[in-house]
Amino acid sequence: MRIYHFLISLGIVILDRLTKLAIERRIPLHDGIQIIPGFFRITHLENRGAAFGLFADSPSEWKIGMLVLFSVVALLIVGTLLWKNSHSMSSTGIGLSLILGGAVGNLWDRLAAGHVTDFLLFYIGRYQWPAFNVADSAIVIGATLLVFEIVFSKNPAEEKSSIRS
Instruction: Give pLDDT tens digits for 47-78.
Output: 876 665 555 555 556 656 777 888 899 899 99
pLDDT at 49: 67
Q: Which of 16, 57, 109, 136 is catalytic?
A: 136
Query: What percentage of the chain has pLDDT greater than the value 70?
Result: 82
Helix (H) or strand (E) holding 41: strand 40-47
Q: Over the chain, what is the mean pLDDT?
A: 87
Q: How far apart are CA 70 and CA 51, in angstroms?
A: 12
Q: Which of 16, 31, 57, 118 is catalytic?
A: 118
Q: If pLDDT is split at 50, 70 and 90, which confidence band does 165 have?
A: low
Q: If pLDDT is split at 50, 70 and 90, which confidence band does 24 have?
A: very high
Kindly report the number of other CB atoms within 10 A of residue 132's CB atom. Answer: 21
Asked about 136 being catalytic, the answer comes back as yes
pLDDT tens for 128-138 read 999 999 999 99
- 2: helix, strand or coil: helix
pLDDT at 56: 53
